[in-house]
């Protein structure tokens, strides 16, 4: 209960904390159909749900288990995938009718191929759901025809197409993890196709060896003669109110033939342990999603075998996050050779207590043990300790991406060192290629595989061919594992830190390491451009030399225009900054936008040259130079128009090998050997937002020459001109209304002060003339004498009159 209280308290505390760490960011990103990342697709109107992939030994044929069919695809050509053969295997109308009568949807009643394994050199063993009545058959791999009539597949293939399963054939025998009943309540790990003295085996389900599992994968370790199964299930050893999911690894020995009296036709070597993907002081990532095996390097022992898995969490604090953990075979063996938990049959509670070992659970050769020993291993199959990840730390954490599938490969770099590369498929449809370094995981690139979200059931890596196959609901996609040709300069090739790629100094190209024996330049660990590309001129001191400034792009603007200068980033890991010669970019005049561009209002102060620099891993390179100049004739602008310079990739990228020249200037032979990045690869991937402004075809960002004026056009992008106009109009209206109200109030106060109310006697009697006026005797004579005009006007009956008897300043 102490552990339960601590864990409950941790959940409460961590729910108030939002994860602050950020995962690795893909350096470059390739959108769907990008010329910089070539993908090969296969699709057909009558092919869907490619849930199982099987690659031939020579890598020329890919067998695909889909809905109601088994396909043979010719993948020997790099530029195309063609259909070589197809075996239709669909239920009859009667089978579909019976499936519907069981209360199942008709969309779930077809035959979904879930098992596809090589039985021998000439045949494939296949199993399908077959309208919720599993069937299995033998298929000739050459002719793609059935050799025998399909037989029952219960215990070999799931009934429900949505239930996950795993299967592997070793020495002609099928080892599976699936469910053995229609409702899916009887999970089994079993062996089939046994011959001679060997019999088919399955688990003893009287004590609940499996608790509602979700099978993920299975693999064989030949040196150990064991099959390892990976799955997740309900952890009954934890007394929680809600079901607590745990990830498991279990083992069985291939030599097991069951007990003589106890555990007849049952596994005597079954044992399971918890896989704990957890960092210190954090909740565990307890739900396994996928796992792949990395065999040890040549000459290393089998105990160095690593298992890389994707884990997610059922806790809300880690919702939407994925973690990658690796487990060593030696650690798994150590846990299985330790103590085991004891199950109380009365309370069905697990406990740990010191007890005398009658036998070692999980040890091979127990089929000849005594009944007492077999009863002991029958009741003690859950290891007491958990398998911790390598280094007791997480290999990688991604707060932003939720991964579903992975493949792992060991790659030898140019320095003859081995690096581990992970291929991770996100649920949003991107494939990430990450290399594991001492400093952490570095995502080299991300490639968009499909546009619409769709279930992915299979991911197959072919190391000899250097490709990855992805099975989706629409077909099959092939992706090359390396993409070295996209890096056109030595800095870009080094900054990629791709163990597949290296820079060839003589030909000045980025090539695949295994394709040449010439010594290559590469720095996977640090990505230090200054040292790796020492043979290439990398001058950055004279940023505002006359040569560079003359090569800048001329931007003609009118005064009071809003100018926006684009800065194409070299990668998503780079940082952009702007500079001016002998001038500081004051924040009062300039606005640095999130996409790296610079925005300001054209004034005599802001005219001149601008330089955009991109810095990545302490290496700085010039990306764009602009010369903002006032137009010769300026029509009076009605408002603040916006002038934007630079398209999606901005102006021509200026590489570090030297300044960019105009098209009319001659190019020396030294620079012809290594063109600039923009001229060779206009589709170089950038991290600019998808809705960022672009040049239209009329503006021609790539075709126009530097030093020449060109019309600047505004196209799609975050334009705030309308918002600026609306806000300005509203501001003017508000100010006008306020001034009107103030003038009205001021006028009323003035009138009230200058007007004498009728019937209010003055305090002082005043002069005789004033008294006469107040009494209402407004005559022009006093004592029989006329008033002189110099006496001024009088107030008569509340009206001010002049000497002429009229209102002041009023003509007669």
Backbone angles phi, psi at 276, to 5 degrees: -110, 100
Q: What is the mean pLDDT of residues 89-103?
A: 93
544: Cβ–Cβ under 8 A, 6 or more apart, which residues? 581, 609, 611
Residue 644 covered by a domain? yes
Structure token pair of residue 187: 């999970």
Of residues 81, 91, 172, 76, the one with CA closest to residue 129? 91
Write the pLDDT tens digit of every residue in 508-566: 999 999 888 888 999 999 999 999 998 765 544 444 554 555 568 999 999 999 999 99
Write the pLDDT tens digit of every residue in 463-490: 999 999 999 888 899 999 999 999 999 9
∠ CA 80-83-88, rounded to 5°: 155
Write the pLDDT tens digit of every residue in 398-421: 988 999 999 999 999 999 999 999
Is residue 719 very low, low, confident or very high in pLDDT (cuts 50, 70, 90)? low
Name which residue leads in pLDDT, 338 or 9: 338
Write the pLDDT tens digit of every residue in 615-628: 999 999 888 999 99
How far apart CA 705 and CA 59 sit, in angstroms, is: 48
707: pLDDT strictly greater than 90: no
Structural domain harbouring 792: 778-812
Is residue 207 very low, low, confident or very high in pLDDT (cuts 50, 70, 90)? confident
Q: What is the mean pLDDT of residues 671-690?
A: 39
Total of domains in the chain: 2
From residue 624, alpha-carbon distances to 488, 575, 576, 603 in Å are 17, 14, 11, 21
pTM of the model: 0.76
Query: What is the model's pLDDT at position 484?
Result: 95
Residue 677 covered by a domain? yes
Q: What per-residue string of b and e applies to 153-173 under the rule 16 or more CB within 10 Å gives b?
A: bbbbbbbbbebbbbbbbbeeb
256: pLDDT strictly greater than 90: yes
Query: What is the model's pLDDT at position 223?
Result: 86
How far apart CA 576 and CA 593 sit, in angstroms, is: 10
455: pLDDT strictly greater than 80: no
Q: Do 719 and 593 fall within a single domain? A: yes
746: pLDDT strictly greater than 90: no
62: Cβ–Cβ under 8 A, 6 or more apart, which residues? 53, 54, 55, 56, 72, 73, 75, 81, 460, 469, 476
From residue 107, alpha-carbon distances to 68, 91, 132, 182, 638 in Å are 12, 13, 12, 17, 62
Looking up tokens 């800048």, which residue turns up? Answer: 552
761: pLDDT strictly greater than 70: no
Query: What is the model's pLDDT at position 157?
Result: 95
Residue 639 covered by a domain? yes
64 within 8 A of 53, measured Cβ to Cβ? yes
Query: What is the model's pLDDT at position 469?
Result: 96
Of residues 695, 629, 627, 624, the one with CA closest to residue 660? 624
Q: What is the mean pLDDT of residues 769-788?
A: 41
Write the pLDDT tens digit of every residue in 44-54: 998 988 989 99
Q: Do 568 and 676 fall within a single domain? A: yes
Residue 605 covered by a domain? yes
97 within 8 A of 104, measured Cβ to Cβ? no
Is residue 632 very low, low, confident or very high in pLDDT (cuts 50, 70, 90)? confident
How far apart CA 179 and CA 158 sit, in angstroms, is: 6
Query: What is the model's pLDDT at position 607?
Result: 92
Write the pLDDT tens digit of every residue in 574-594: 999 999 987 889 888 999 998
Q: What is the mean pLDDT of residues 630-639?
A: 64
Q: What is the mean pLDDT of residues 88-115?
A: 94
Q: What is the mean pLDDT of residues 656-668?
A: 36
Query: What is the model's pLDDT at position 695?
Result: 34
Residue 704 covered by a domain? yes
Q: Do 578 and 650 fall within a single domain? A: yes
Q: Do 736 and 783 fall within a single domain? A: no
Q: Which of 743, 768, 800 is the last residue of a domain?
A: 743
Query: What is the model's pLDDT at position 639?
Result: 55
Q: Do 730 and 782 fall within a single domain? A: no
* Rg of the chain on CA atoms, in Å: 40
Q: Do 796 and 678 fall within a single domain? A: no
Report the CATH number that the domain containing residue 678 is assigned in CATH.
2.60.40.10
Residue 429 covered by a domain? no
Is residue 67 very low, low, confident or very high in pLDDT (cuts 50, 70, 90)? very high
85 within 8 A of 47, measured Cβ to Cβ? no
Is residue 327 very low, low, confident or very high in pLDDT (cuts 50, 70, 90)? very high
Q: Do 783 and 653 fall within a single domain? A: no
Residue 260 covered by a domain? no
Lowest pLDDT segment from 49-53, 121-125, 306-310: 49-53
From residue 632, alpha-carbon distances to 183, 262, 399, 550, 608 in Å are 82, 100, 53, 19, 15
340 within 8 A of 380, measured Cβ to Cβ? yes
Q: Which of 727, 743, 759 is the last residue of a domain?
A: 743
305: pLDDT strictly greater than 90: yes
How far apart CA 47 and CA 63 sit, in angstroms, is: 13
The CA-based dihedral angle spanning residues 344, 349, 354, 357, taken in that order and rounded to the nearest 10 degrees: 50
599 DSSP β-pair partners = 564, 591
Residue 710 covered by a domain? yes
Neighbours of 193 (CB within 10 A): 16
Q: Do 695 and 808 fall within a single domain? A: no
Query: What is the model's pLDDT at position 673?
Result: 38
Query: What is the model's pLDDT at position 346?
Result: 74
pLDDT over 70 percentage in the chain: 77
Query: What is the model's pLDDT at position 547?
Result: 52
Let me know how long the chain is.
812
3-state secondary structure of 754: helix
233 DSSP β-pair partners = 246
Query: What is the model's pLDDT at position 800?
Result: 37
Q: What per-residue string of b and e applies to 318-357 under the rule 16 or more CB within 10 Å gives b?
A: beebbbbbbbbbebbbebbeebbbebeeeeeebeeeeeee
Q: Which of 723, 743, 763 is the last residue of a domain?
A: 743
Q: Do 784 and 716 fall within a single domain? A: no
Q: Do 654 and 785 fall within a single domain? A: no
Q: Do 611 and 690 fall within a single domain? A: yes
Q: Do 799 and 679 fall within a single domain? A: no
């Amino acid at each position: 209960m102490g552990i339960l209280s601590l864990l409950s308290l941790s959940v409460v505390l961590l729910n108030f904390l939002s994860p602050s760490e950020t995962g690795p960011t893909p350096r470059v990103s390739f959108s769907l159909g990008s010329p910089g990342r070539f993908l090969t697709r296969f699709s057909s109107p009558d092919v869907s749900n490619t849930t199982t992939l099987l690659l031939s030994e020579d890598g020329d044929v890919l067998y695909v288990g889909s809905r109601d069919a088994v396909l043979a695809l010719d993948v020997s050509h790099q530029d195309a995938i063609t259909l070589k053969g197809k075996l239709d295997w669909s239920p009859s109308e009667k089978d579909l009718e019976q499936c519907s009568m069981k209360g199942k949807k008709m969309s779930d009643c077809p035959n979904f191929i879930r098992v596809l394994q090589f039985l021998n050199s000439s045949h494939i063993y296949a199993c399908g759901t077959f309208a919720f009545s599993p069937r299995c058959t033998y298929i000739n791999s050459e002719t793609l025809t059935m050799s025998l009539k399909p037989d029952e597949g219960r215990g070999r293939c799931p009934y429900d197409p949505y239930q996950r399963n795993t299967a592997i054939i070793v020495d002609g025998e099928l080892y599976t993890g699936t469910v053995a009943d229609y409702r899916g309540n009887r999970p089994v790990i079993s062996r089939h196709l046994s011959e001679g003295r060997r019999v088919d085996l399955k688990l003893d389900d009287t004590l609940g060896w499996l608790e509602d599992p979700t099978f993920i994968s299975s693999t064989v370790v030949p040196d150990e003669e064991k099959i390892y199964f990976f799955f997740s299930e309900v952890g009954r050893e934890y007394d929680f109110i809600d079901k607590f999911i745990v990830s498991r690894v279990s083992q069985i020995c291939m030599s097991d033939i069951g007990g003589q009296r106890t555990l007849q036709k049952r596994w005597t070597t079954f044992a399971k342990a918890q896989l704990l993907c957890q960092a210190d002081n954090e909740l565990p990532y307890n739900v396994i999603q996928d796992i792949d095996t990395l065999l040890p390097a040549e000459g290393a022992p089998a105990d160095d075998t690593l298992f890389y898995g994707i884990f997610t969490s059922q806790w809300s604090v880690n919702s939407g996050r994925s973690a990658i953990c690796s487990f060593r075979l030696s650690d798994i063996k150590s846990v299985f050779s330790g103590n085991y938990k004891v199950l109380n049959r009365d309370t069905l509670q697990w406990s740990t207590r010191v007890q005398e070992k009658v036998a070692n659970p999980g040890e091979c050769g127990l089929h000849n043990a005594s009944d007492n020993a077999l009863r002991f291993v029958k009741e003690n199959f859950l290891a007491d300790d958990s398998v911790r990840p390598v280094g007791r730390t997480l290999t990688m954490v991604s707060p932003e991406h939720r991964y579903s599938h992975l493949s792992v490969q060991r790659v030898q770099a140019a320095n003859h060192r081995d690096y581990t590369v992970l291929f991770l498929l996100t649920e949003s449809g991107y494939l990430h290629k990450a290399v594991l370094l001492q400093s952490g995981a570095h995502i080299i690139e991300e490639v968009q595989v499909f546009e619409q979200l769709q279930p992915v059931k299979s991911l197959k890596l072919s190391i000899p061919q250097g490709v990855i196959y992805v099975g989706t609901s629409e077909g099959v996609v092939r992706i090359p594992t390396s993409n070295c040709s996209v890096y056109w300069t030595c800095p870009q090739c080094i900054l990629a830190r791709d163990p597949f790629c290296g820079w060839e100094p003589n030909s000045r190209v980025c090539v695949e390491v295994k394709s040449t024996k010439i010594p290559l330049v590469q720095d996977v660990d640090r990505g230090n451009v200054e040292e790796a590309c020492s043979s290439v001129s990398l001058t950055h001191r004279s940023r505002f030399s006359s040569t560079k400034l003359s090569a800048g792009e001329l931007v003609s603007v009118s005064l009071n225009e809003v100018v926006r200068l684009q800065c194409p980033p070299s990668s998503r890991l780079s940082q952009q900054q702007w500079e001016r010669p002998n001038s500081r970019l004051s924040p009062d005049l300039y606005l640095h936008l999130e996409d790296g561009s610079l925005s300001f209002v054209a004034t005599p102060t802001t005219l001149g040259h601008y330089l955009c620099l991109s810095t990545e891993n302490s290496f700085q390179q010039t990306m764009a130079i602009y010369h903002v100049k006032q137009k010769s004739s300026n029509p009076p602008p009605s408002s603040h128009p916006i002038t934007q310079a630079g398209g999606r990739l901005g102006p021509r990228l200026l590489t570090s090998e030297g300044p960019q020249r105009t098209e009319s200037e001659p190019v020396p032979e030294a620079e012809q050997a290594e063109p600039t990045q923009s001229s060779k690869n206009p589709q170089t991937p950038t991290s600019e937002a998808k809705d960022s402004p672009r040049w239209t075809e009329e503006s021609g960002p790539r075709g126009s020459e530097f030093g020449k004026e060109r019309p600047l056009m505004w196209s799609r992008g975050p334009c705030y001109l309308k918002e600026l106009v609306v806000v300005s109009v509203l501001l003017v209206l508000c100010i006008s209304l306020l001034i009107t109200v103030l003038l009205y109030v001021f006028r009323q106060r003035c009138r009230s002060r200058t007007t004498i109310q009728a019937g209010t006697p003055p305090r002082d009697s005043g002069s005789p003339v004033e008294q006469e006026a107040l009494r209402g005797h407004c005559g022009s004579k006093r004592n029989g004498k006329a008033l002189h005009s110099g006496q001024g006007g009088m107030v008569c009956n509340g009206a001010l009159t002049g000497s002429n008897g009229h209102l002041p300043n009023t003509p007669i």
